[in-house]
């Protein structure tokens, strides 16, 4: 059977989609190629959140098409995902040689369409139409590769977004919110646990909106079609949101040791979710809270639906429940109309919260979004200068917070060899910090207590000898920025 190479751009949801497509193709008899040069089929799973991501994928595909034309090799080339959804048939004209364009609700059709292309039944395929039930159509996970079962696994709980922030194209590329049933998600988590997975990461464009949109028949979005209508909680307390109901259900799965989720919206942090961190031991103390800006004026222009004060209140309540809570965020600099005062308010928010990690982005106009036509577009040099200033502050705060971990004993879940130095092993703390230590393959999947002896750039270094793990021969220390 033909071999396939899949290259992924963008977020964790794209990573999960690519994994599911790969598993689907393996089940159909295809093989996975180690590189595009050795593949019969090359698929780029694309991102549209920023223009840079789109241009990178377009340039990559143009280069591949040119290389294969020069070599005379016949290779099937395809775009998947968000840019495929946004641009559709336009991509066939923009990149001659492309054979397949599949949108975000059609990824489960990949194997069928490839079969038709390879058999000559079609010369090109473009399918970006919405499809009912697509949120539950892909649940395949890759089998154990190279003899090792992944320790962590992504589980998609919903598709789409109803938030419509003025800067974001995702509601156009992913469609409206559609949730899978709790029963279906729990069954997937049980299957993963049976294969040795210890940690699940629940995924959605806004996971805290899970189940809030009714299904096609008006029933709660988190119910399977044949499940009875739910009764009241009956415990005398405040009602639980569908997302908290899901967390509780996954928490009961034997073999799953840790639960994470991404990406939420600050609006979804109600009292029931905040208090869940205190009563669900498997729900790790890690929260990714995308703030985007520290200025109320800019937040209103972004149509985010919360204020700076509300965001700070959520952070304070989370840290009251779990003082060691690791908090990360997303920030956009250079939004149209952003003044120096607005930007300074964002810097001050960073100083006040002291985020453990910040994903910092330069504003990128996306077509057909309200922000793209807003007045007050900033010169690129201003955006670059503000980005540099923000990055310097963010890194300064992170260095201080990581250095404060030295001397502490923390629990890590060992995921496997370090990416930068395969001679060492790496794990992740409950608050989502990378720890590198000198161990061996036998530690994969274990929950270990290690003492932090050094802090690097967004990486901690632990000494397992402190807790009775025999160290391997030491090599030269290496800074491994893995996070």
pLDDT in tens, 396-411: 999 999 999 999 999 9
Regions of the chain where pLDDT drops below 50? 234, 469-483
* Residue 11 CA to its chain's centroid (Å): 5
As a whole number of angstroms, the distance between CA 128 and CA 458 comes to: 39
Per the annotation, does 431 bind a ligand? Answer: no
CB 80 within 8 A of CB 110: yes
Residue closest to 253 by CA, chosen among 204, 156, 181, 188: 188
Q: Which pLDDT belongs to residue 149?
A: 81
Residues ≥6 apart with Cβ < 8 Å to 161: 168, 170, 171, 174, 176, 177, 205, 206, 209
DSSP assignment letter at 36: G
Residue closest to 349 by CA, chosen among 264, 266, 457: 266
CB 195 within 8 A of CB 144: yes
Q: Which pLDDT belongs to residue 471?
A: 46
Residue closest to 220 by CA, chosen among 208, 210, 212, 228: 212
Whats the size of the chain, residue-wise? 483
Burial of 190 (0-12, 13-18, 19+ CB in 10 A): middle
Residue closest to 135 by CA, chosen among 193, 222, 219: 222
Query: For residue 163, what are its two tokens?
Result: 């938030």
Q: Which pLDDT belongs to residue 472?
A: 43
Q: Where are the beta strands (DSSP E) in 258-366?
A: 258-262, 286-288, 326-333, 357-362
Q: Which pLDDT belongs to residue 473?
A: 41
The per-residue DSSP string of 368-385 comes to TSGGGG-S-PPPHHHHHH
Question: Which residues are bridge partners to 199 per DSSP?
Answer: 152, 258
∠ CA 40-44-50, nearest 5°, is 165
Q: What is the pTM of this model?
A: 0.92
Pairing of strands 434-437, 460-463: parallel
As a whole number of angstroms, the distance between CA 219 and CA 212 comes to: 10
CB 158 within 8 A of CB 210: yes
Per the annotation, does 11 bind a ligand? Answer: yes
As a whole number of angstroms, the distance between CA 224 and CA 262 comes to: 23
The per-residue DSSP string of 407-438 comes to T-EEEEEEEEE-SS-TTSEEEEETTS-EEEES
CB 458 within 8 A of CB 483: yes
∠ CA 77-79-84, nearest 5°, is 150
Quick check: helix, strand or coil at residue 230? coil
Per the annotation, does 161 bind a ligand? Answer: yes
Q: Using DSSP, how many helices (H) and how many strands (E) does the chain show?
A: 13, 19
Residue closest to 393 by CA, chosen among 363, 352, 431: 352
Q: Which pLDDT belongs to residue 222?
A: 87
Phi, psi of 24 (to 5 degrees): -60, -45
As a whole number of angstroms, the distance between CA 171 and CA 163 comes to: 8
Domains of the chain: 3-127 (3.40.50.12160), 408-464 (2.40.50.140)
């Amino acid at each position: 059977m033909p071999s396939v190479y899949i290259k992924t751009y963008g977020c964790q949801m794209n990573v999960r989609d690519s994994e599911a497509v790969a598993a689907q193709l393996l089940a159909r008899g295809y093989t996975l190629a180690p590189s595009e040069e050795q593949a019969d089929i090359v698929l780029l799973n694309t991102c549209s959140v920023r223009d840079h991501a789109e241009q990178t994928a377009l340039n990559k595909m143009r280069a591949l098409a040119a290389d294969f034309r020069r070599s005379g090799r016949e290779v099937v080339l395809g775009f998947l995902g968000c840019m495929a959804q946004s641009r559709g048939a336009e991509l066939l004209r923009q990149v001659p040689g492309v054979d397949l364009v599949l949108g975000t609700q059609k990824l489960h059709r990949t194997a069928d369409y490839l079969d038709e292309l390879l058999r000559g039944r079609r010369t090109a395929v473009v399918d970006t139409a919405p499809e009912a039930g697509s949120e539950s159509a892909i649940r395949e996970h890759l089998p154990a590769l190279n003899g090792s079962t992944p320790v962590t696994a992504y589980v998609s709980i919903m598709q789409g977004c109803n938030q419509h922030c003025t800067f974001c194209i995702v509601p156009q590329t992913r469609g409206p919110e559609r949730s899978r049933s709790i029963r279906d998600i729990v069954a997937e988590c049980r299957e993963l646990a049976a294969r040795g997975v210890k940690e699940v990461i629940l995924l959605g464009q806004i996971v805290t909106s899970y189940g809030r949109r009714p299904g096609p028949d008006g029933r709660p979005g988190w119910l399977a079609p044949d499940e009875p209508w739910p009764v009241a909680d009956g415990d005398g307390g405040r009602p639980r949101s569908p997302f908290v109901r899901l967390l509780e259900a996954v928490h009961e799965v034997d073999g799953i040791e840790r639960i994470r989720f991404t990406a939420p919206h600050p609006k979804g942090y109600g009292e029931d979710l905040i208090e869940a961190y205190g009563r669900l031991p498997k729900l790790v103390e890690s929260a990714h809270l995308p703030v985007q800006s520290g200025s109320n004026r800019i937040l209103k222009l972004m149509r985010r639906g919360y204020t700076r004060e509300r965001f700070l209140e959520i952070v304070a309540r989370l840290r009251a429940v779990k003082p060691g809570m690791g908090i990360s965020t997303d920030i956009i600099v250079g939004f149209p109309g952003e003044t120096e005062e607005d930007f300074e308010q964002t810097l001050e928010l960073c100083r006040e919260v002291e985020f453990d990690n910040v994903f910092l982005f330069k504003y990128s106009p996306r077509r057909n979004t309200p922000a793209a036509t807003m007045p007050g577009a900033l010169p690129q040099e201003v955006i670059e200068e503000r980005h540099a200033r923000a990055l310097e502050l963010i890194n300064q705060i992170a260095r201080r917070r990581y250095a404060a971990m030295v001397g502490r004993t923390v629990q890590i879940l060992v995921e496997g060899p370090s990416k930068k130095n395969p001679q060492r092993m790496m794990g992740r703390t409950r608050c989502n910090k990378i720890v590198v230590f000198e161990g061996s393959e036998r530690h994969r999947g274990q929950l270990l207590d290690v003492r932090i002896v050094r802090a690097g750039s967004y990486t901690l270094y632990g000494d397992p000898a402190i807790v009775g793990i025999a160290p391997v021969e030491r090599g030269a220390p290496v800074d491994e920025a893995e996070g």
